[in-house]
Every structure is written in C-alpha cells, then in structure tokens.
Structure 1
Amino acid sequence: MTDRRQALTPDALSMMDTIARTGSFAAAARELGKVPSALTYSVRQLEDALDVLLFDRRSRQAQLTAAGEELLQEGRRLLAQMDAVANRVRRVSTGWETQLTIAVDGVLSRLTILELCEAFYAMRPNGGQDGPGTRLRLRTEVLAGTWEALVSGQADLAIGVPGDSVLASGIELRPLGDMAFVFAVAPHHPLATFDGPIDDAELLRHRAVAVADSAQRLSPMTVNLLPGQDVLTVPTMHTKIEAQLRCLGCGFVPEPLVRDHIRLGRLVVKQVQRQQRVATMAYAWRAASVTQPRKAPQGLALQWWLQQLESPATRHALLNPQSGLVSDVD
C-alpha cells in the first residue's frame, strides 16, 4: 500500500492527464520537456507499482485501458482538489484580499464587467485617499470552464455558471437569469431560404459552428450538436458569431449579442423543430464557514462584488451585452 501511495504523486497524475489530453506519448513528452523513452519508463513504473496495465500496447495511439480511464478520472479530481487547497491557503485571512479572481462566461457583457471594475477601483474605503488595494484578475471561460475555475480554486467568484450546476461543498450559488438563444445563419447561407421549421435531418447536412468548452478537467459540455455533423470549433462566442456572419456555418447564438446583426439583416433567424435554447445562468462563490473557525472569513472585495450582483439592474446588464450598466453601482 505504501508503494502505491508513493507512486500516485501529483507529477504522475499530471503525466497521465497530459498523455490522455495530447493523445500520444511523443506529444506528451514534447509538452513535458522529456524524451519519449523517459515518459514510457515512468508509465511502466507507475503500472508496476499499481500492478495494472494503464495503456493498451497494441494500439499505436495512447489508448487507455479501463484501469487507465479510472485512474485518469480520479487523478483529475484529485489534482483539482489539490489546486483548490493550494489556492485557498494563499488568500488573506482578513480584510481586503490581496487579489480577487473573477471567472466570467464569455457570453456575458464585457462592458458591464469593466464598468463594475471601474466602480470598484473608484471606491475609497473608510473615507481614505486610496482605493481598496485588491488586484482584480478577470478570466474569460466557456460553459463548464466557468464552474471549473471556481471549484478548482482558480477563481474566487464565477459569473455565468450553468444554473443547474451540482453544488460542491462550501460553494454558494445564486440565480443570475436566463439568456435566450436563437438559431441564425447568414443571409446567403442555404438555410436562409428554407421554408418552415428546420428538422435535424436537414441540419445534419450543414456545418455547425461551436464554441469549445474551456474546462480542462471537468467533462466538457456539448450543446445542440448532432452526431456526425461537420463542426467548426472556435474559442469564443464572439468568434462563433463572426464565423456565422461569414457563412462558415450555422448554430444557436445569444439573442442579445446578435440583436443588431438581426436588425440590420446580417443574420437571419430561422425556426428549428428542436427546442429553442434558453440558458439559465447563475453566479457562485466560496462561502465563509462558521463551522471552521480557522478558515479565513469572506473578504471585503468579494463582499462588494456580491452586493453588486444582488442588484436586478446589474444582472440585467450582464445578460444584455448591448444595454450597458445603469449608474446605480454602489
């Protein structure tokens, strides 16, 4: 048992994650700065310590066995927990945090987030001459990546997480609101003149544009893609909209983000037989615990941001990127 515990180091788990993510020992070795033979030797040592076969040697690719899949999934979970601990212990015990990291889903209003940052920096706590002194760090995430940033300890506040996220221990979640999505194509796209609601069989004939989930360790989310459909994958929702404006594909896009494009005829909204998508979004943060007296209390910077998110006007502005934020920021 001791040998097994000594073999399951963070480096070994990270190595497994890199091999699985890159798809080959050679690619993983390049990313890790090792020669392939050294990586192969490390894997064999791990297999010997655990007395299992982690990779199918008959495959030319890095094909995991069932035992390897189990180790990969559990290893990713353990790495996320270690990251969470390491990030939490760096937080300041009282007062204004040294740094506050905010993960924001890419469909939300960037202008509103920056207006909130502007109001935060303009504060003068206790009537002093200086601002709060907390360094803000913004992260743009996609789909499950926003939630992962919070639960892994990489972010203190996550805005735009899926509303049905399964709560982890010590996480508080509040509703942000709903964002409607519409199926849209460029006016010169073949589907632009399609008569009647478009069924899945017809959609399958056309390339979809999809935004890649930014989650690295949680299971990535796939939304409204059909099995076997040609897909152009892009990094952000704004890139997806640009791709659809250029007739590179079709797909669902947030109605508030494309409202002007629709009004000006640059995009055409089409009815589809599958259910129209409405994204229910929330915001979440790590809660202070009354049962753990040695745990750091909630910082003042986080308290300020949560106070802003309690405002219906702020939530509306975040979900309607073209509206901007009203001037009632506290």
Structure 2
Amino acid sequence: MKISLEALAMLDAIEARGSFAAAADALHRVPSALTHAVRKLEEDLGFELFQKVGRRAVLTAAGRTLLDDGRALLRAAGDLECRARRIATGWESELRIAIEGALDAAALNPIIAEFYANYGGTRLKLMYEVLGGTWDSLATGRADLVIGAVGDPPPGASYATRSWGTLEFAFCVAPHHPLADAPEPIPADLARQYRAIVVADTSRQLVARTAGLLDGQDTLTVPDIAAKAAAQRIGLGVGHLPIALAEREAAAGRLKIKKLDAPKPIAPLWLAWQSNQRGRALDWFVERLLEPGCAALLQRIED
C-alpha cells in the first residue's frame, strides 16, 4: 500500500500551513526531507499532489480527494489511539469539549488550568456549538463532552446527562430602534415586523433548532453571539441575548431591554456525554463542572 497514515498526516500539515517549510517545522522535520517524501509519494502514486500557486503549496484535484478522504482515516486512527490509551491507562489522549455558544468559554480557563496542573497528559480541544448542534456534536463524534446542551436530547440516543442549571434571555433592541420606545409588553404581531438577528444552529446531521423566533419573521443569521450583539447594537435587527450580556449592554447604553407579551422561556441546560464512553479526564470534568457555582461562572460575561 502506497498511502500510510504518516503520509496523510504529512499532506494534512502541508495543506493546513500552505508551505513545505511551515509543515516541516510543525512536523519537526527538515524541509528537504519533507519535499523528498512528497516527491517520492507522487512517483509511487503516478500523479501530482501539490502545485505551486504564488508562494503557497496548493493541492491538486487528485490531492484534494486523497486528503479529504484520508482525513477520515486520520480521525479514525486518532479515535483508535484514544480508546486504546483509555483502556490501558484510564486517561484519554484527547478530550473534545463542546460549549453552547451562549456561554463564555473563557470562563472555563481556571478549571482547565487546574486540570493541567494535576493531570496534564490529556490534550483538550474546545469548540462552540449552537442550539441543537450541542447534541449533534455528540451524535456525530465531534465532541466527547458537552457543556450547556440546550433543551431535550434527541430521541433514541444513549446519552448520559446531568442537569446544569438554566439559561435566561432578555429581548434587546438598539436605543434608536423603532421598538425602543414601544409600550410594554410588546405584542408579538408588532415584534415580528422587525428583522431578528439569530445565531445559526450548528447541527450537521440532526434537525436544526430555532429559539425565540416568531412566525414569518425576517432573519439575519450571524456566526456567533458576539456578532449577534454587535448587529443588534447598530439596529440591524432585534433578538434575545443571554441575560448577563443583555444587562451589560443595557448598562452601557448600547442596547435596551424590552418586555414581550410572550417572553422566551428559560432554557434548561445539561452536561452530556456518550454513556458508553468514559475516561478519567471526562469523569474529572463532569465532577468539577457539577460543583456549585460552575454553571453561573460560564454565564458571566466580561469585557
């Protein structure tokens, strides 16, 4: 077989960093040795993998196909290594943590520092997921642990869950928005006349969820909660923000909190993980995150 996991990792590094020199540095190899290895692989395969575009090394169409499918093999090999290491030592080689996008991932840093100080052998990978994307990240294997999964888990899944408090939202508009001076509570028929700013659900396989939208309401979809708040500040639309963020923006005079006649329900949050996948790092984070005050910590918004 001409393709090895090492060869795929080499192609992945070159494509990600855009040059042989940068990839060689990341792989702790001499650039000339990396160049020779790629040329030898191209000779064995009978086709070119990279072409020069300006100063970057860019995959050919054939190289792209090889690497795109090969990355699935790299992920599978990584998962296999993780499972084997977990069986041998009880500690995962990597723990992937998905965090609901309305929470503050930076607030997790003191807990991560505590973990590293005592159990530094497991790599940690943090990612944001939104709405149903939290559950989807477990279903598709993107995450091992979800912090702040919103709403009920999808049916038929074998997830372990622990209640993790609630997330409250406030309806906000810019001070110069037409709804800023509207009598309260604002009727739904009036609110739906104005564009809503929404953060896209990050689900890839499960059905995407929506929250706080009114029937027939126009939407502007943005990538994250910071972009949502920014769009609402300049009056591009209206919408619900986490209460801590809404109160900070209102205190600074950048947004106004308004009451609706049908307010958005308070959302239950969960810690969740695959019930058949347990390791010592996962157990440590679950136990630590269930300590009093942790849920409130991640809902705190700081400048």
Residue type at the aligned position of 1:194: A
The TM-score with structure 1 as length reference comes to 0.64
Q: Work out the CA distance in 2 between the residues paired with 1:229 and 1:273.
A: 16
Q: Answer yes or no: is the 8 Å Cα contact 1:178–1:319 preserved in 2.
A: no
**Which residue in the other structure is 2:270 paired with?**
282
User: Contact 1:179/1:281 (CA < 8 Å) preserved in 2?
Assistant: yes
For the structure 1 residues 243 and 261, does the alpha-carbon distance in structure 2 shift closer, same or farther, using more than 3 Å as the test? same
Q: Aligned residue for 2:227?
A: 239
In 1, Cα distance between equivalents of 2:172 and 2:161: 32
Supply the distance in 2 between the matched residues of 1:306 and 1:152 (Cα, whole angstroms).
Answer: 20
Q: Which of the residues 279, 282, 285 maps onto 1:299?
A: 279
Which ranges of structure 1 fall in alignment gaps of 5 or more residues?
1-32, 35-83, 124-130, 289-295, 324-330
Q: Is the 8 A contact 1:87 1:153 kept in 2?
A: no
In 2, Cα distance between equivalents of 1:146 and 1:261: 26
- The one-character-per-residue Cα deviations of 1:63-109 (angstroms, maximum 9, x if unpaired) are xxxxxxxxxxxxxxxxxxxxx99886452324211111001111112
Letter in 2 for 1:217: Q
CA-CA distance at 1:142 after TM superposition: 0.5
Q: Work out the CA distance in 2 between the residues paired with 1:306 and 1:157.
A: 8
What are the equivalent positions in structure 2 for 1:305-316 lying under 5 Å apart? 305-316=285-296
Q: How does 1:219-258 map to 2 (within 5 A)?
A: 219-258=207-246
1:49: which partner in 2?
Answer: none
- State the match for 2:191 in structure 1: 203
Question: Offset of 1:172 from its aligned partner?
Answer: 0.5
Deviations along 1:31-84, one digit per CA (max 9) or x if unpaired, are xx69xxxxxxxxxxxxxxxxxxxxxxxxxxxxxxxxxxxxxxxxxxxxxxxxx9
- SS in structure 2 at match of 1:206: coil
Aligned residue in 1 for 2:7? none
Offset of 1:266 from its aligned partner? 1.4
Q: Displaced runs of 4+ in structure 1, greater than 6 A? A: 84-87
Larger deviation, residues 134-143 vs 197-206? 197-206
From 292, 297, 301, the counterpart of 1:317: 297
Alignment of 1:54-133 (within 5 A): 89=80, 90-91=82-83, 92=85, 93=87, 94-123=89-118, 131-133=119-121
1:107 partner letter = A
CA distance in 1, matches of 2:214, 2:165: 27
Q: Which moved more, 1:159-168 or 1:209-218?
A: 159-168
Measured on the aligned residues, the alpha-carbon RMSD in Å equals 2.5
- What amino acid does structure 2 have at the position aligned with 1:162? V
State the one-letter code of the partner of 2:256. V
Shift of 1:287: 2.6
Q: Aligned partners of 1:226 and 1:286: how far apart in 2? A: 34
The aligned counterpart of 2:130 is 142
Instruction: Give the drift of 1:174.
Output: 0.5
Equivalences, count: 229
SS at match of 1:312: coil
One-letter amino acid matched to 1:273: D
Shift of 1:112: 1.8
Task: Answer yes or no: is the 8 Å Cα contact 1:102–1:158 preserved in 2.
Answer: yes
Residue 151 (structure 1) aligned to one of 134, 139, 150: 139
Which of 141, 148, 153 pairs up with 1:160? 148
SS, match of residue 139 in structure 1: strand
The alignment-based identity, stated in percent, is 38
Note the C-alpha offset of 1:167. Answer: 5.7
| Contact 1:150 1:285 (8 Å CA) reproduced | yes
